[in-house]
Amino acid sequence: MGQKLLLIIGLFALAHAGYSAAQHRVYVRLTEQQFERLPADIIVQTLIAFLACCIGTVQLFGKFKPILITAEWQNKTWDTIGNRPSFMTFNHRVCVDSFESALAAVQGGAQRIELCSSLDQGGLTPSLGLLTLIRRHLPSELIIFVMIRCRSGDFVYDNNEINVMKEEIRSFIQSNQRIDGFVLGLLNPDGTIDIENLKSLIEQIPKDYSLTFHRAFDFLAKWQKSIDQLIELGFHRILTSGQETTAYYGRKSIRQMINYADNRIIILPGCGINVTNLESVLRETGAKEFHSSARIRKPSKMIYKNFQKRISLNGQANDDEDNSIQVTDREKKQRGSFAYYHSDSIEEPPDEPVYEEQRLSSYEATKILRTHEASIDLEANCPVKYYEVNYLGANNPPEDRQAQARIRSIDSYMYLFGVFDGHGGPWCSDAVGQSLFEYIAVSLHSPDELEPILRKGKTMTNSNKNSSQNSRNISSLLLRSYYNAYKDARNSKTKEVHQNNLLKHIEEVYTSFDNDNTDIMSALESAFIKLDRDICTEAIPNAAEEMNEDLLHISTAGSCACVALVKDADLYIANCGDARAILGTIDDNGNPSVVSLSIDHNVRNENEVKRILSEHPSNESHSVIRSDRLLGLLMPFRAFGDIRLKWPINSLREYLQPYYKKGDAIPQFYFTPPYLTARPEITKHKLTKKDKFLVLATDGLWDLLSPEKVVELIFNHQKGIQSFDRFILNKTGTKKSSLKLKEISELLTARQQAIKNQPIDQNSATDLIRHALAFTSKGQFDSKLLSDVLTFPNPRSIRDDITVTIVYFDQDYIDQIDTKEKQTGK
């Protein structure tokens, strides 16, 4: 009894000494004193407690027994001696469409394959000859799942196509070649599973075959209900990218699907999985299996090529089209096979794990992330206190742009912030980023203000100064620009054309000014539309001029735009495309909250889809939006430029076709242009003390982080950033502090929380990008993942350009405006 009591007292004293030491360290850190050593009483207590634990343990348990090296093996068989159940291995299913790909997959370590044809079309039913050859020459234990899909395109099939797939299933089963399962899927036009026809296919398949529902699942309207239906139908797996473009982008949704399935059916992540993002996908989804193709492009064996006529098998000429073929790469497959991480939930013995070394140190990765960051303080007595920006490119060159400026006005200052997401090259987003704020400023100036600007502008144009200098001078009459990380890529001729168009716009507004221009929302809309008009028309040469191919590049490419205008306590958002604006605010309970100030213009916006369909004849309802894109080409439904979706057919044929090198300049089903508009959707918000910051970002950020997560991260960053300042308990400067012990305790607790949230980056935009790239769903930073993402040879294949602007409001100024308006009765 005495030995137990001594051991208990020793353990308690040891725990108390540890707690005292931790509290002492916290106190030193909060008061920002230099730590030298622990107090003597804690050290003495620790030594006595440790000695008491040792004596009590020895007396209680007696003599030690010898440890035999063979003791652990006595209860193990030879087959299980090498097992390490604390490591996790995954079932990797490789999709192949040729014998060469199947051979490479097996050589790379694959134990199961999905057999199909035409992977470039999403996978179709393979030939019986391919299955026979694989069974004849590859290991008999190879598990094979056969794709059943009679054509490319959507997953809505008529009766004839259903009968074709029934015959395909019947022929495979009757071939006497061993098949382990089938991969299939049917949908109704309303985005639900075609249960009746699917049952008719399943009836052809024996019960011992495994069934997988393919990526038709990603086109379903309600995935929860669909999972339950597929379980009832007897399916064993669902292949999905989380209803996103790739499994990496859809990993959060896949995690939700796995949790909902609750081991009733296997959720199989697939699409876009590669060695760089594999570990992140598996860890953040909790998936036990994954699906990939690990393809590379193999050059054609053709020696003779018809260079005079660019003939391609798909009917569309393309400079990259050389009739090459794609096959599974053995090395890619091997790298994908060795993706393991520690887990206690799976008890399967893997091979030895192989890890790639991290390419960048933490310092090098951070240096890359901070290359383009900036934090800009604005002048006193204005609604914006400061703003922070950053961008990280994925395209080469980057297609995103951003801009910030103040409109020079006699009455009051207005502040502009914008992000511009280009596509088809950086030319259009560069031009929009350089010109849009100028057009907005002109539209918001009164005739009295425009008259001297117009006069000075004409004088500058007629002077002997070079055009680029003139352009900057004219812009300086309208705006005061702030930080700009981008080099103006326009040549002198292009700048001259843009300057002349700006002067024409000033003269047009000056001569035709009406009361509508006093409305900020109308002025914003007018500026967007007129700039897009100029971009699209300036590419058409006059009769005596030759085609300016630089202007043609600008108008052929495109750009989305999301612009914020702040005037006193009024916030206006003008959005065109799929960039996004959100407001970080505080709800009535003091908790962080999100206010969405824009809606993406794409296929997920039901009102936008209805608008487009209403603008074109009903016989075009099936061709206007195809594969979730406008005319099957463009994902955003509003944008600057993109003359291929705006110009009349005759103009495309006369001016664009001679210079267009990617085939036919006129899109398929191009009957009633224009199909695309740059007209913005504008919202107005009245700022209050609860509104803390505004976030403008391109879709590269929103693909990786939700608006709620972005707001949460910025609020946490703001708390953590305070810990970089020196802690001063008495800020009044007096010798005696009037603070009570309770208030001091609250200050120290807040300081402790700030240190806990202390970020790696002081710039909040950089912190967002870091989280988007390399923070797991559990909130843990993965330095290896960040290194892999930053050094990936083709970053555009795994993410988009990321551009972020965060605007912090001056709460005192907004409170003054609010008080003044209440006093005046507004």
Q: Residue 757 has what pLDDT?
A: 64
Contact of 580 with 564, CB cutoff 8 Å = no
Q: What is the mean pLDDT of residues 432-455?
A: 90
Domain boundaries, the chain: 1-61, 91-300+323-336, 368-461+475-704+760-820
Question: In terms of pTM, does the model score above 0.85?
Answer: no
The strand pairing partners of 212, in sequence order, are 183, 237
Q: Which of 396-405, 495-504, 523-532, 675-684 has the lowest mean pLDDT?
A: 495-504
Q: Residue 273 has what pLDDT?
A: 80
Q: What is the mean pLDDT of residues 801-815?
A: 94
Q: Residue 181 has what pLDDT?
A: 93
Q: Residue 355 has what pLDDT?
A: 41
Class of domain 368-461+475-704+760-820: alpha beta
Instruction: Quickly tell me which residue has 């004293």 as its tokens.
Output: 13
Q: Is the pLDDT of residue 545 over 60?
A: yes
The strand pairing partners of 586, in sequence order, are 592
The strand pairing partners of 625, in sequence order, are 630
Q: Which of 294-303, 381-390, 721-730 has the lowest mean pLDDT?
A: 294-303
pLDDT tens digits along 186-201: 999 888 999 999 999 9
Identity of residue 133: L
Q: What is the mean pLDDT of residues 233-262?
A: 89
Contact of 326 with 119, CB cutoff 8 Å = yes
C-alpha 71/C-alpha 571 separation (Å) is 74
292 closest CA partner among 113, 471, 449, 89: 113
Q: What is the mean pLDDT of residues 177-182?
A: 92
Interstrand relation of 802-809 and 691-697 (parallel, antiparallel or unpaired): antiparallel
Q: Is the pLDDT of residue 73 over 80?
A: no
DSSP 512: T
Helix 492-511 with 549-556: angle, nearest 10 deg: 70
Contact of 798 with 740, CB cutoff 8 Å = no
Q: Residue 606 has what pLDDT?
A: 93
pLDDT averaged over the chain? 82
Q: What is the mean pLDDT of residues 591-618?
A: 95
Q: What percent of the chain has a predicted confidence (pLDDT) above 90? A: 43
pLDDT tens digits along 340-369: 232 223 333 334 344 444 478 888 899 999
Domains 91-300+323-336 and 368-461+475-704+760-820 share a fold: no
pLDDT band per the 50, 70, 90 thresholds, residue 63: low
Q: How far apart are the first and last CA of the chain?
A: 82
Contact of 802 with 394, CB cutoff 8 Å = yes
pLDDT band per the 50, 70, 90 thresholds, residue 613: very high
Q: Is the pLDDT of residue 464 over 50?
A: no
Q: Residue 108 has what pLDDT?
A: 77
Q: Residue 416 has what pLDDT?
A: 96
Interstrand relation of 374-377 and 384-392 (parallel, antiparallel or unpaired): antiparallel
Q: Residue 76 has what pLDDT?
A: 44
C-alpha 804/C-alpha 369 separation (Å) is 12
433 closest CA partner among 389, 386, 385, 465: 389
pLDDT band per the 50, 70, 90 thresholds, residue 760: confident
Handedness of CA 552, 554, 557, 561 (dihedral sign): negative
pLDDT band per the 50, 70, 90 thresholds, residue 154: confident
C-alpha 181/C-alpha 146 separation (Å) is 6
Class of domain 91-300+323-336: alpha beta
Contact of 218 with 155, CB cutoff 8 Å = no
**358 to each of 29, 245, 352, 537, 760, how far by Cα in Å?**
33, 27, 19, 50, 19
